[in-house]
Amino acid sequence: MGGGDVGDLTLLLQNVFLQVHKDDRWMWTLESSNVFSVKSAYNALTSQPPIELPVVVSSLWHKDVPLKVVLFAWRLFRDRLPTKDNLHRRGVLDQASMLCVSGCGLTETSNHLFLHCNIFGSIWHFINRWIGTSAAAPFYMSDHFNQFSFSGGISKVRRSILQAIWIATVWEIWKERNKRLFNDKVCSIIQVVEKIKILAYSWLKVKFVALPLNYHGRWLSLFAILGIG
Nearest to 163 by CA among 144, 137, 185, 182: 144
- Indicate whether 34 belongs to any domain: no
In a domain, 161, yes or no: yes
Distance CA 57, CA 46 (A): 6
Looking at the structure of the chain, the number of domains it has is 1
Q: Does some domain include residue 79? A: yes
Asked if residue 49 belongs to a domain, the reply is no
Instruction: Evaluate whether 69 touches 171 at the Cβ level (below 8 Å).
Output: yes
In this model, does residue 169 exceed pLDDT 60? yes
Distance CA 211, CA 204 (A): 8
From the centroid of its chain, how far is CA 28?
A: 24
123 assigned to some structural domain: yes
Sign for the CA dihedral angle at 84, 89, 93, 98 comes to positive
Instruction: Read off the pLDDT of residues 113-168 as tens digits, 9 standing for 90 and up.
Output: 999 999 999 999 999 998 888 778 888 898 999 999 888 667 788 888 899 999 99
Is 153 a member of any domain? Answer: yes
Residue pLDDT, tens place only, 54-75: 565 566 777 789 989 999 999 9
The verdict on residue 189 lying in a domain is yes
Q: Which domain holds residue 163?
A: 55-226
